[in-house]
Structure 1
């Protein structure tokens, strides 16, 4: 019985530490000392179809209803955290649509967030460009980035689920310092 009590106390303490850590991460994001990096919401499939064209969403994997709802929940969550971010996104339709579905304002394309799934030999160079461009942004404002699994994994070493977010400390570095993981 005593052992169960010790385990329960340890679990409660650990749970409190995780919650405190998450609260600090959200504060850092709100204050512009961190960024939120999201994998685009659910778009069934892997990679892009053979006829992929960047300027034609009909040739790409696109968000399904689950993905649209995930993105809308992100918008609700960010508003509940008093975060009014600047939104930067990959040029892929599924990433742009994720950012737009949040309902938080204009979405700016940032090619350094584009997927390099088809060109993995560009990963190191593109990740370095992303770090440089994000670190050059003015501090003090919230920033949300929408990208792809391969980009996020290259930067953090983490394989995120569709719609999952990572709050990353600024300045960005490789590997990025993850303050919190937020499930879709």
Structure 2
């Protein structure tokens, strides 16, 4: 039992440096370019969208809270402070994604293949959206980083990874997960 306790203490002591090394390695990878960067929209309280959801009316949608807006700023700061160049930023058409992209990066384009298909109202779009995404990245200039501000279900479908709000998930050109960074809200 003493050995187990000793090992737990050692693990706790070295764990922060392992995380720091992991973050440093990820930043170096991002600086090289050619990465697909998925960001789940920043914190928007609740789950899914209201029944009266209208893509053209943000008042009918689940939106970022003040904490989510602050988290979006932190996301943008992460890229600026670490001098990570971005080729282009693409966002879902949902207001919470657009607001995340706008605050973090200022310039972005919307793409409907990044839209949520969580609710039954949009579930039938899943297969086409994933095919459209695959087609889109097949013509990507693989020398530049691309950012996709999207939803949990889209990231999970593409990368088989369950992201937190505002989490940055990095994949290579083959959609192989490299690492992620959780940005606190």
For residues 31-68 of structure 1, what are the alpha-carbon distances to aligned partners after superposition, in whole Å with 9 as ceiling and x for unaligned? 22212101101111111111111111111111110100
Q: Which runs of 5+ in 2 are unaligned?
A: none
For the aligned residues, what is the CA RMSD? 2.4
Q: Is the 8 A contact 2:41 2:149 kept in 1?
A: yes
Q: Residue in 2 aligned with 1:178? A: 177
Tell me if 1:47 matches 2:51.
no
- The whole-number CA distance in structure 2 between the counterparts of 1:22 and 1:55 is 38
Q: Residue in 1 aligned with 2:72? A: 71
TM-score, normalised with respect to structure 1: 0.84
Q: Which runs of 5+ in 1 are unaligned?
A: none
Offset of residue 25 of structure 1 = 2.8
- The whole-number CA distance in structure 1 between the counterparts of 2:78 and 2:16 is 21
Q: Is the 8 A contact 1:33 1:140 kept in 2?
A: yes
Q: Residue in 2 aligned with 1:87? A: 89
Offset of residue 129 of structure 1 = 2.0
For residues 150-178 of structure 1, what are the alpha-carbon distances to aligned partners after superposition, in whole Å with 9 as ceiling and x for unaligned? 11111122221111121111133xxxx11
Offset of residue 27 of structure 1 = 2.6
Q: Residue in 2 aligned with 1:37? A: 38
What is the DSSP-based 3-state SS (H/G/I as helix, E as strand, rest coil) of the residue aligned with 1:145? strand
Q: Residue in 2 aligned with 1:100? A: 102
Offset of residue 30 of structure 1 = 2.5
Tell me if 1:8 matches 2:7.
no
Offset of residue 147 of structure 1 = 0.2
Deviating beyond 6 angstroms after TM superposition, the runs of 4 or more aligned structure 1 residues are none
- The whole-number CA distance in structure 1 between the counterparts of 2:97 and 2:32 is 24
- The whole-number CA distance in structure 1 between the counterparts of 2:23 and 2:177 is 11
